[in-house]
Structure 1
Amino acid sequence: MPTARKRARSYDPAKTRAAVFAQLGNVREAVRGLDEERLGLPTRLGEWTVRELVAHIGMAVTAVLRAAARPAPPKQDVRLVDWTFATAANSAAIDDYTRRLAAERPDLDGFLAETEDGLRALLAEHPAGRLLETNAGAMPLDDYLVTRTVELVVHTDDLNAAVPDLAVPYDRQALAATTRLLADALAVKAPGGSTEVRVPPYAVVQCVEGPRHTRGTPPNVVETDPLTWIRLATGRLTWADAVAGAQVSASGERADLGGLLPLLG
C-alpha cells in the first residue's frame, strides 16, 4: 500500500458530520421523486440500475453503523488516506450486498430515512475519537465519516449521470472533503514535488518525482474543477478524454497523470 511522509490533512468533525447529513438529505429528496421507470434506468456502474445505486448510497452510510456495532479495535492502524486504496478489494462483496439490499428494501425513501435516523443516534452517542474497524482497517469515527462524504458525492454524481434531469445538488463541504481526500491520495501514490495539481477552490497538492519546485510558477501544473477531478480519480472519466475535452489543463513534461489514475476503484 502506498505510504506518505507528509503531515495528514485535518478535517473539522462538526463540518464533516454536517456534510454527510446534508448530502444524504440531498439524495433522499431526489429519490422521493423517482418512479419505477426511472428507478429501473441503467447506470454507469456495470449492471446496477438506479434502484441498486440508491440502495448502495444508503448502504455506504449504514457501514458506519455496522462498524460501530463491532468491538472497538485497540489502536488505529491505518490513516484516512489509506482507505482510498483499500476499496477495490471489497468490490465483489459490495456488489452482492447491494443487490440483496435493493431487493429487500423496495421503499428506498424509508430506507434512507432509517439510515439517517440511525446515524444521528449513533453520532449523538459516540465521540469523534471512537475507533472503528472498517474495511480498510482501524480508524477514528470521524475519519471514517470523511470517507462517507466521498461515497455520497461520487455516487450522487453517478445518480445525476443516470437520471440527467434529477440534478441532485452537491453540498459544498462534502464536495470539498471529497476533493481534498482524493487529491491527497494522488500525493501518496506519486510522492514528489515536481508537479502541482490544483483543484480550486478546494485543493492544491505537490506530487510526482523530479526536480522540486520552490518559488514562482511551477514547471508542471495540472488544473481542473472539483467534479472533473473526482471523475478522474474514480475512473468515471479518462485522462485522455478530459484533456481532449478541455476539462483539464496540463502543462509541463511531468503533467501527464494518465498513468496514475484512477485512484479509487
Structure 2
Amino acid sequence: MPPARKRARSYDPAKTRAAVFAQFGTVREAVRRLDPGQLALPTRLGDWTVRDLIAHIGMAVTAVHRALDRPAPPRQDVQVVEWPFATAAKSAEIADFTRNLAADRPDLDAYLTDVEDSLRALLAAHPGSRLLETNAGALPLDDYLVTRTVELVVHTDDLNDAVPGLEVPYDRQALAAATRLLADALAVKAPGGSTEVRVPPYAVVQCVEGPRHTRGTPPNVVETDPLTWIRLATGRLSWADALAGAKVGASGERADIGGLLPVMS
C-alpha cells in the first residue's frame, strides 16, 4: 500500500494578511530612519545597495497588484508549497526591474506608503479565493499572500544584515508562516520519513528517503531556530557554516541535509 498523502498545511487568511501588513510596516518605520549614507551601503545581494533592496521589498508586495491586473486563470494548478521552487527562474529580470524602480522612486517612504495603501484597497476589493497567475502557477490570493511573508521576512533579514544596528523586528506571525512554508517545501523536495527537521516553535517536518520511525525519538534529527532555518533555506547561510557556528544541531546518519539546501534561491 502506498504511503498516505500528507494533507497540505492551511494558513489562516486573516492572520496572513495581518502579518503582511505588520512586517511591511516595520520595514517602513525603519526606512524613515535611514540617511543617504546608509541607503548607499552594499548588501549581501550582489551589487544591490540598501536603496535597491528597499525598492525590491516594495516590488515584492506589488507582485499582488500586478497579478490582480491580469485575468484570473480558469483553475488552480499548483499548491503554495511549490512556490519556493519557482523563484529563481526570473532572477535576472527581477534584478533589472529593481534597479530601475530604485532610480525612479527617490522618495522611498512615499513609495512604500503608496504600496501599503494600494494593497489595502485591493484586498478590500477582491476575495481571498480570487485566482492569480503567479511565477509558480495559478494560486488563490490568500495563498499567494503567504508567499509574501517569505519575501518580507527574508528581505527584512537582508536589511538588518546590511545596516549595522538597524534591528528591524520580525512579526511573529510573518516569521511563523515563512518558516512553515520553507520547511514544508523541504519535505516536498526530499519526501520521506527518515529525518525530522525541527524549527521550534513553528515547524516540524519529516523528509528524506529511508526507514521511517513510528514512535519515540527519531534516529535522524535536525534542529535550528527560525531565522537560521530561513537563511539556510534561502542560501544566505551555508550548511557547513551553520554547523561550524553551532547554529544547527544534526544527529544521525541521514541528518546531513546540506545537499538539499537551499530550498529557494
Number of equivalences = 262
Alignment of 1:1-265 (within 5 A): 5-265=5-265
In structure 1, C-alpha distance between the alignment counterparts of 2:188 and 2:5, rounded to whole Å: 8
The letter for the 1-side match of 2:124 is: A
In structure 1, C-alpha distance between the alignment counterparts of 2:227 and 2:13, rounded to whole Å: 23
In structure 1, C-alpha distance between the alignment counterparts of 2:262 and 2:5, rounded to whole Å: 22
Point out where structure 2 has 5 or more consecutive residues left out of the alignment: none
Root mean square deviation, CA, Å: 0.8
In structure 1, C-alpha distance between the alignment counterparts of 2:31 and 2:108, rounded to whole Å: 7
In structure 1, C-alpha distance between the alignment counterparts of 2:182 and 2:108, rounded to whole Å: 29
The percent identity for this pair of structures is 82
In structure 2, C-alpha distance between the alignment counterparts of 1:5 and 1:170, rounded to whole Å: 33
Describe the superposition over 1:198-250 as per-residue Cα deviations: whole angstroms up to 9, x where unpaired. 00000000000000010000000000000000000000000000001100000
SS at match of 2:29: helix
TM-score (norm: length of structure 2)? 0.98
Residue 99 of structure 1 and its aligned partner are, at CA, apart by: 0.4
In structure 1, C-alpha distance between the alignment counterparts of 2:83 and 2:218, rounded to whole Å: 30
SS at match of 1:118: helix
In structure 1, C-alpha distance between the alignment counterparts of 2:199 and 2:14, rounded to whole Å: 23
4+ residue segments displaced more than 2 Å: none
TM-score (norm: length of structure 1)? 0.98
In structure 2, C-alpha distance between the alignment counterparts of 1:34 and 1:86, rounded to whole Å: 32
Describe the superposition over 1:15-68 as per-residue Cα deviations: whole angstroms up to 9, x where unpaired. 000000000000000000111100000000000000000000000000000100
Residue 5 of structure 1 and its aligned partner are, at CA, apart by: 4.0
SS at match of 1:88: coil
The letter for the 2-side match of 1:178 is: A
SS at match of 2:63: helix
The letter for the 1-side match of 2:200 is: P
SS at match of 1:235: coil
In structure 2, C-alpha distance between the alignment counterparts of 1:132 and 1:233, rounded to whole Å: 25
In structure 2, C-alpha distance between the alignment counterparts of 1:134 and 1:106, rounded to whole Å: 28
The letter for the 2-side match of 1:201 is: P
Residue 164 of structure 1 and its aligned partner are, at CA, apart by: 2.0
